[in-house]
Amino acid sequence: MTESNSNTSGPRYLQVDVFAEHAGGGNPLGVVFAADAWSEADMQRFAAWTNLVETTFVLPPRDTRASYRLRIFTPTREIPFAGHPTIGSAHAALETGRVVPHDGGLLQECGAGLLPIRVEGDGTARRLYVQAPAARVLREGSDEPLLRSVLGDTRLGALAPAFVEGGRRWWVAEFADEASLRGWKPDHAAILALARADDCLGLCCFARTREAGAGRDESRPYDVVVRAFPAGVGIVEDPASGAANGLIAAYIAQREPEGALARGYRVSQGREMGHDATIDIRIDGGAAVWVGGRSHTVIDGTIRTRPF
């Protein structure tokens, strides 16, 4: 990968809309190229200034097998992996010509290791899929006092709530139906207490649509609704979360290996926040979970000064 920038006044900066069929519906991401000379403190200050859910830095790989190395920052801390920064950064790297796919894919080096990314299509029709880190259930059931204080008397779905780890750690809860999840008014202080107690991101919730059991249908807008509340990193609600969706998919595949969603499905997320993200889930052989979708470059410019 070449890190040179034809504009020598500073690193190149792209702002990308991730997991959206049309620009403006997904999750914004800042992507910085050619900031190799920046310190970790510089990167953190810049991520705090952008005030986006995440800002990433695309760097030369340390592992010769990798297409590039990615560092991911929230406004307050660096994190090893997240889905929407991975997809958006791969989109930006391809869009700017920094990398080219080999055998239909890329290999990202990050804090969670080497992650393969599938590249399908070109230009505005391009879809990217990242293989989520392997997931495992740490605890299961709704008897946790702090979890009960979050969920209250909410009517839950078929699967019990679970504490799941895979690149990130989340509590996962299935709601009984789409309407109850879309209309839910969570206690954000209670979610923060849960996140702090278990040193995790927080709570991600999902609900199946009425048509979700009818078999995979590409023409149907979505099969599952997701809402994610990563209070553990200071975010009230995430409009499109790849990591949360990867863990939800892994949990469904493990608990329902012959179920209607066990090979993949489409997710709607973010409408409660004024967004309209679309996330595609593919599950290979009941084990490997791929999270993907489309991205759109909204801003392409140059950083003219090192952060503050």
> pLDDT value at position 37?
94
Within the chain, which residues score under 70 in pLDDT? 1-8, 212-220, 286, 308
Instruction: State the Cα torsion 97-103-105-111 to the nearest 10°.
Output: -100
> pLDDT value at position 232?
92
> pLDDT value at position 176?
97
Residue 178 resides in a domain: yes
Shared domain check, 161 and 125: no
> pLDDT value at position 220?
65
Classified as helix, coil or strand, 200 is coil
Instruction: State the Cα torsion 146-151-153-159 to the nearest 10°.
Output: -110
Residue 204 resides in a domain: yes
Shared domain check, 175 and 108: no
Number of domains present in the structure of the chain: 2
> pLDDT value at position 168?
86
Shared domain check, 148 and 250: yes
Shared domain check, 161 and 82: no
Shared domain check, 127 and 173: no
> pLDDT value at position 226?
98
Residue 194 resides in a domain: yes
Shared domain check, 167 and 39: no
Tokens of 186: 């969570």
> pLDDT value at position 21?
92
The DSSP call for residue 35 is -
For residue 114, give its domain range: 12-132+294-302
pTM of the predicted model over 0.75: yes
Strand partners, 281: 265, 291
> pLDDT value at position 287?
74
> pLDDT value at position 213?
52
Residue 144 resides in a domain: yes
